[in-house]
Structure 1
Amino acid sequence: MRITDDISIEDWELTEQFIRASGPGGQNVNKVSTAVELRFEAERSPNLPGPVKTRLRRLAGRRWTKDGALVLQVDETRSQARNRDIARDRLAELIRQALVKPKRRIATKPTLGSKKRRLKAKKERGEVKALRGKVDPAP
């Protein structure tokens, strides 16, 4: 399975298991295993670099297993072949997202003008609050 020009997934890294889907579908749901569970052995994959695996683990969330596999379940359609294609597309999209390096944030100092404006606003707010004192009862 081709992800990008330089990254592809071998067949041994993917395992597909077909299970019964829940939801609408009448008798078809009870008889046919249309839902697909795609398991990708991401941790053992020689084609994914280390940083990509780390980002993929973060993106996968609960779908990442303890033994380093990514498990995707799809039961959107009543067609087994279509569910299989959807699962493979989702896996490819997740890997493409993991390939994107996040930009490093460059720390900046606040300008002198912004510091002065902040302090002026604080001072004004404090003056407003200072006026909220107790009122002495009239004799």
Structure 2
Amino acid sequence: MSEDLALAPRRGLPGGLVIPDTELVERFSRSSGPGGQSVNTTDSRVELSWNVAASSALTDEQRARLGAALGDRLVDGTITIAASEQRSQFQNRQAARARLAHLIAAGLEPPAAPRRATRPSRAAKARRMDAKRRRGGIKANRQRPPLE
């Protein structure tokens, strides 16, 4: 399945991103879980590793942003994804690549703009107080008249 990993253009990644297949390292091992008779013979678990620090696909700015976003998941500048949900090695390879692409895209997304504090207008405050008075009047009319 030696294909480059391509990320479509999106917010924070206007030109998209292509990670060469030569930078992706796949390791296979036996997977726990379902598998029937072939469970102990098939290496269907996939570990996909990508060295963020040494990647030629990223700019310095992107590398810094990814390092900040994935800081706790990076080990010596390398991110590793394990996939063993499927019984097929091919499906696990696809799942690992999709998960890596999602992580990269989320990590490269720029931070949200800071919230600007706003205040309600005088008219909005007046409308709110009128609504409270009206509602209070409705509730006051529900009460029984006091005994004299």
Match of 2:58 among 48, 69, 89: 48
* Residue 85 of structure 2 is aligned to residue 81 of structure 1: no
| SS of residue matched to 2:17 | coil
Query: Residue in 2 aligned with 1:25?
Result: 35
**Structure 1: distance between partners of 2:64 and 2:48:** 20
- Name the SS for the 1:8 alignment partner: strand
Q: Which runs of 5+ in 1 are unaligned?
A: 114-139
Size of the alignment, in residue pairs? 113
Q: Which protein is richer in helix relative to its size?
A: 1
Alpha-carbon offset, residue 61 of structure 1? 5.6
Q: Shift in Å at residue 8 of structure 1?
A: 0.7
TM-score by length of 2: 0.64
Aligned-partner SS, 2:53: coil
* 1:99 and 2:108 matched: yes
Q: CA deviation at 1:60?
A: 3.8
Superposition deviation, residue 48 in structure 1: 1.7
More strand by share: 2
Q: 1:70: Cα distance to partner? A: 0.6
Structure 1 position 59, deviation (Å): 4.5
The 2-side partners of 1:39 and 1:56 are apart by 15
1:39 maps to 49
